[in-house]
Structure 1
Amino acid sequence: MTLAYDTESHAAPLAIAEVMERLGVKMNYAKDEEIFAQDEDADLVHLLVSGAVRTTRLLSDGRRQVGCFYYPGDLIGLETHAIHRFSAEAICPSTVMVVRRSALRAFAGDGHLDRAIWEAARRELERTQEHLLVLGRKTACEKVASFLMGLAQREPAERVQMPMSRQDMADYLGLTIETVSRMLTQLQGAAVVEFDGSRKFKVTRWEALEQMAA
């Protein structure tokens, strides 16, 4: 199978993806299985082929903070330092292409790898900014509405797949799981979104969702 990744969708630069396909090993991870640990040596490069991944960090008081969500085509945890600041776990059954950074550098050349690191750093900055904007929303409803709008914009389909759990959403938004569930119920009750089970939804009133997320 040939993997195609492009920079327009914020995926891995094509040259690096091709090299990783040649040199890499595909690793399959079950739901909630750890891919790499917080403070672990960052000597591997990970490219998500299928599934979805979350990064998390345990805080000093024992709480869990979800840092980001990753989707197929994303480079995961490509650090500029020697260790991973976050751990990464599969949200659902996922396949990850794994290559040693030294092997990738030797094959692709320093220039290609440096550009890949720069591109990954740029995307991480965008993700951080998006996360800060969501956390900066004043109310819980605004935070949840903004999160759902981001998912719907990422996956332009009538029914949007939501791979993360309510707890993942809560730990990402800085809310309790009870608050997240209550806000989702309110949004569905107001006919802004329509859920098909717990992991799939449809935006039925896009303007109303945008207003709530503004």
Structure 2
Amino acid sequence: MFVNVNANPAHRPKPGGELYGLSRAQVILSEFRYNRGAEIFGEAEPAEYVYQVVEGAVRSYKLLSDGRRQIGAFHLVGDIFGLENGPAHRFTAEAIVETTVRLARRASLEHVAEVDASVTRDLLIMTTSNLQHAENHMLLLGRKTSLERVAAFLLEMDARLTAAGVMALPMSRRDIADYLGLTLETVSRALSSLHEKGLLGFLGQTQRQIVLLDRPELAKLDV
């Protein structure tokens, strides 16, 4: 389920971000709010829009032939997603928690880019950013041990999520496992091991709030 929040000023994000900037080039923007677990777009569906997370978090994933789920990316506040080099989406995108996204019609972006060099530049920056993330994820999956993969994930989230020294992870351990190509049990063991080593601490019953206690030691695992 999603709700159009354009008519409610209280839900409008503050100015800023790539898509907001593109709106000044006569690109029409819309905003929708998705409930937890709601599909934003599906694999193989027409790629008609480009999206930006305003509030919440999104996961993009692909179901493998054996039924397993491989999460390709977590999109957090400010992130752009849904950019494709073909006519259809290669992944499915879902809201991890209640999430608001800003979207622009892809055809409008492409039309404006034909006559506005600044829009072309912004689209190139978005594409390059997504490519860089894909490369980083590929390197993460190349880690030899589960501990190395989990350490790399924590450092990635630390750079993207930390507020006042605490990482409030919106994703579950199952999500983390499917992102890292590991089992749920392996991720849990790795987190427990890092906790026992004194590299991180947990806050709250769900243990989704994590405090990194020794970043230098954790970084030694991310090599």
Give structure 1 stretches of 5+ with no counterpart. 6-11
State the shift of 1:97 in Å: 1.2
- 2:71 is aligned to 66
**TM-score, scaled relative to structure 1:** 0.88
State the shift of 1:103 in Å: 3.2
**What are the residue-to-residue correspondences of 1:29-48 with 2, within 5 Å?**
29-48=34-53
- 2:15 is aligned to 3
Would you say 1:190 and 2:197 are equivalent positions? yes
Q: Could you report, residue by residue, the CA deviation over 1:146-177 in whole angstroms, capped at 9, with x for unpaired residues?
A: 11011112234311111111011101101000
Would you say 1:139 and 2:139 are equivalent positions? no
- 1:122 is aligned to 128
Of 105-114 and 200-209, more deviation after overlay is shown by: 105-114
Question: What is the percentage of aligned positions where both structures have the same residue?
Answer: 39
Could you say what the CA RMSD is over the residues aligned between the two structures, in angstroms? 2.0
State the shift of 1:183 in Å: 0.7
One-letter amino acid matched to 2:34: Y
The answer to whether the 8 A contact 1:3-1:18 is kept is no
One-letter amino acid matched to 2:218: L
- 1:83 is aligned to 88
Mapped partners of 2:91, 2:147: distance in 1:
27
Q: Secondary structure at the match of 2:72?
A: strand
Q: Aligned to 2:56, which of 38, 41, 51?
A: 51
State the shift of 1:54 in Å: 0.8
State the shift of 1:106 in Å: 4.5
Mapped partners of 1:18, 1:165: distance in 2:
37
Give structure 2 stretches of 5+ with no counterpart. 1-11
Would you say 1:181 and 2:180 are equivalent positions? no
**What are the residue-to-residue correspondences of 1:165-176 with 2, within 5 Å?**
165-176=172-183
Of 104-113 and 81-90, more deviation after overlay is shown by: 104-113
Mapped partners of 1:112, 1:59: distance in 2:
38
Mapped partners of 2:198, 2:23: distance in 1:
41
Q: Secondary structure at the match of 2:71?
A: strand
Q: Secondary structure at the match of 1:39?
A: coil
One-letter amino acid matched to 1:34: E
Q: Could you report, residue by residue, the CA deviation over 1:124-150 in whole angstroms, capped at 9, with x for unpaired residues?
A: 111111111211111101110111011
Q: Secondary structure at the match of 2:219?
A: helix
The answer to whether the 8 A contact 1:15-1:112 is kept is no
**TM-score, scaled relative to structure 2:** 0.85
**Number of corresponding residues:** 207
